[in-house]
């Protein structure tokens, strides 16, 4: 079976803490398509990602991985809509316009979490995505993310 191309490994000049392949101190999440307009990501927390109780994942880390997974999904979709591979030609970049996370259950820190993002609406400069975070097969958080297209000047390159 062919290993899927991870979005983050193709996005140029990405130094983001959560998803930047060029940030060795970051979370290094990796996202990929699993179906039309559906992407997945698996993240293995480390002990230093804990909440107050050491056996649960911190809510800020939960929010970060959801945000980054969804924004990278929007970037991948932007390239797809432009008929190009991620990173090919002029840079396409999205940023968070809205992040609405609902924390439903504590997330265990000792096992992988899976993120499943589904694109709900695509407009020229805005992509709306719903996301679920699962731990041990149970939905522990849900989110709605609005990713907005930003001009290349925003990147500061």
Q: Is residue 1 part of a domain?
A: no
Q: Is residue 155 part of a domain?
A: no
Range of the domain at 94: 7-150
Q: Is residue 156 part of a domain?
A: no
The length of the chain, given as a count of residues = 157
pLDDT of residue 157: 57
pLDDT of residue 4: 80
Provide the 3-class DSSP secondary structure of residue 123: strand
- pTM score of the predicted model: 0.95
Segments in the chain below pLDDT 70: 1-3, 157
pLDDT of residue 156: 75
- How far is it, in rounded angstroms, from Cα 86 to Cα 151? 16
Which H or E run includes 126? Answer: strand 126-135
Ramachandran region of residue 108, left (φ > 0), alpha (ψ -120 to 50) or beta? beta
Number of domains in the chain: 1
- How far is it, in rounded angstroms, from Cα 135 to Cα 110? 10
* Contact of 92 with 154, CB cutoff 8 Å: no
pLDDT of residue 155: 72
pLDDT of residue 41: 97
pLDDT of residue 153: 79
What's the CATH code of the domain at 135? 3.10.129.10
């Amino acid at each position: 079976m062919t290993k899927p191309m991870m979005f983050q490994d193709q996005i140029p000049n990405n130094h983001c803490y959560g998803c930047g392949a060029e940030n060795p101190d970051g979370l290094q999440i990796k996202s990929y398509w699993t179906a039309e307009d559906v992407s997945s990501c698996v993240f293995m927390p480390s002990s230093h990602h804990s909440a107050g109780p050491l056996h649960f994942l911190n809510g800020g880390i939960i929010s970060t991985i959801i945000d980054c997974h969804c924004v990278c999904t929007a970037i991948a979709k932007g390239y797809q809509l432009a008929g190009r591979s991620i990173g090919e030609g002029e840079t396409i970049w999205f940023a968070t316009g809205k992040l609405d996370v609902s924390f439903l259950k504590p997330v265990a820190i000792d096992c992988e979490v899976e993120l499943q993002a589904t694109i709900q609406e695509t407009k020229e400069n805005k992509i709306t995505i719903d996301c679920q975070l699962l731990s041990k097969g149970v939905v522990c958080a849900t989110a709605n993310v609005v990713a907005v297209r930003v001009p290349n000047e925003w990147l500061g390159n």
